[in-house]
A and B are shown apart, each in its own frame.
Chain A
Amino acid sequence: MFEAIAFYLFSILTAVMFYITVTTKQALFALTALAAGMIFISAFFFILGADFLGVVQIIVYTGAVMALYAFGMMFFDTTRELKERSGSPLITAGLSILSAVFVVLIFVAPIVSTKIQVTAPLIAGTTNSQSIGMVLFTKYLVPFELAAVMLLVAMIAGIVLAGKKMDRSLTLMAEEEIMIAEEANRKVLL
């Protein structure tokens, strides 16, 4: 009973938040609605008994990813209204729903035809985080280490890409220096 109420409440909230994210013209509204939607998604994980996944969702998505987006948006001009691709919204909506259903069919069809085999069963007498630790550090150890290396590579790439020319500050430079720097930048582009 309560599970059903929670499911319907959170699914409506999540769908509304994500709909605001994809339709609003204000970048800040989109960011805030996306953060709220991520929090509501974690509620589903708690309902499904995946406690650890829910906590990771809150910490990583709303804590790290959204904070990174918020920092990134300081670089961009977010006060301007966003322009969107012209075209019939009905056709776009129809195409996206159709392709989503097709994607689900493509992935579900083999499952339905050959019955899912349980490969990593829940271990009796352990909590969710304990059993996740047991499976993660035995069966999925190599992918786990690879993910760690991938995160390290991504961190270095992010620093290198975003940190270029961070040593000069436009607010501390004189007007002429900025003009010279912009002129040099334009010559590089041409």
Chain B
Amino acid sequence: MMEIGLTHYLVLSTVLFSIGLLGVMRRKNLLMLFFATEILLNAVNVGFAAISHYYNDLTGQMFAFFIIAIAASEVAVGLGLLIAWYKRHGNINLDAMSSMRG
């Protein structure tokens, strides 16, 4: 209980990941969906850093860095697309984006 091991961190990572998935499943607003995606990426980063620490291996931290870089570029492109969509349609509701429905 008092000795914090790898399992503690992996359980924490799973809990944060499921909170993020909960957000992805229940949100309708696309901006809130983006927030949930950030939570997913952060949860994975915690797991990578923990494995890196307990196995004395720097690879986990490297992967966490690249995940942060990907998250930053995802936000830039995604937010640009959201702004372009909002200027045209006036909302960012996920259910309204069905223009390609057959």
Interface residues of A (CB under 8 A from B): 1, 3-4, 7, 11, 14-15, 18-19, 21-22, 27, 30-31, 34, 37-38, 41, 44-45, 48-50, 52-53, 56-57, 60-61, 64-65, 68-69, 72-73, 75-76, 82-85, 87, 89, 92-93, 95-97, 99-101, 103-104, 108, 116, 118-122, 131-132, 135-136, 140, 143, 147, 150-151, 153-155, 157-162, 164-165, 185, 189
A153-B31 Cα distance, complex, nearest whole Å: 22
Interface residues of B (CB under 8 A from A): 1-4, 8-10, 12-29, 31-32, 34-36, 38-39, 42, 45-46, 49-53, 55-59, 61-62, 64-66, 68-77, 79-84, 86-88, 92-93
- Sorted from nearest, which 7 A-B pairs have the closest CB atoms? A161-B80, A22-B23, A154-B73, A100-B18, A96-B21, A158-B76, A48-B53
Nearest-Cβ distance from residue B79 to partner chain A, whole angstroms: 4
A44–B57 contact, CB under 8 A?
Answer: no
A11–B12 contact, CB under 8 A?
Answer: yes
